[in-house]
Chain A
Amino acid sequence: KAGVTQTPRYLIKTRGQQVTLSCSPISGHRSVSWYQQTPGQGLQFLFEYFSETQRNKGNFPGRFSGRQFSNSRSEMNVSTLELGDSALYLCASSLVASGGGQQFFGPGTRLTVL
């Protein structure tokens, strides 16, 4: 069974631009969560989607948004990029929502904002 895939793996943007990251969960998994990982703040929860609905949200500004499609694939969008948005963005999928199952992480998208 294929694991969680994220595209692109690397991305370089400039301040003020926007970016869209994609996550394809493990086949059959309906929950997708997004995390931001930085050296200073560690791994922080962004949001969780289940059956196309956002179920949980972390403490990030409104510039960070996401959505989930009917095939469970998810995208996250960051608008008006800031230097501090440079990070590894990880998505994780699980069979069920809200702690009902193990989360499997993808390899991440490394975003650099110049």
Chain B
Amino acid sequence: TQLLEQSPQFLSIQEGENLTVYCNSSSVFSSLQWYRQEPGEGPVLLVTVVTGGEVKKLKRLTFQFGDARKDSSLHITAAQPGDTGLYLCAGVGYGGTASKLTFGTGTRLQVTL
């Protein structure tokens, strides 16, 4: 059962464009993580958002955690070819289940010149 839905599933844009990826759930999480995965590699953590309503910026990437702690978004400004990859959100549970990450369905981003 997939508890985290990401949209869009695929995104192909040109360098310099802006984009937003959404991650929605019916469940509440203690925190939300965003990963990027490139071919042949495991996911790499980009950020963890912990507080409802929190906004975090990482250079051209802006992450937001919804007030109700059920949804999150990732906004990329002026995308570059190096941003190409699979973006995954992951919900962190509470207490003893916190290590049992629940991953989203994924958004595959391709940025072309």
Mark A residues whose CB is within 8 Å of B.
Answer: 4, 31, 33, 35, 41-45, 48, 55-56, 58-59, 90, 92, 94, 97-100, 102-108
Contact = CB atoms under 8 A, between A and B. Distances in A.
Given A41-B2, A42-B103, A43-B88, A105 B98 contact: no
A63 to B, nearest CB: 20
Contacts of B41: 107-108
Interface of B: 1-2, 30, 40-45, 48, 88, 90, 92-93, 95-106
B42 A97 contact: no
Given A42-B2, A43-B88, A103-B45, A55 B99 contact: yes
B103 A4 contact: no
5 closest A-B pairs by beta carbon, nearest first, are: A99-B98, A105-B42, A43-B103, A98-B99, A56-B100
Given A41-B2, A99-B30, A99-B92, A56 B42 contact: no
Nearest to B45: A102
Contact of B102 (A33, A45, A103, A107): A45
Contact of A48 (B1, B99, B102): B99
Given A56-B96, A56-B99, A43 B40 contact: no
B111 to A, nearest CB: 21
Contact of B43 (A31, A33, A43, A98): A43
B74 to A, nearest CB: 17
A90 B42 contact: yes
A43 B103 CA distance: 6
Contacts of A35: 101, 103
B25 to A, nearest CB: 14
B99 A4 contact: no
7 contacts: A35-B103, A42-B2, A43-B43, A92-B42, A99-B99, A102-B48, A107-B42
Contact of A108 (B42, B44, B88, B103): B42
A56 B48 CA distance: 21
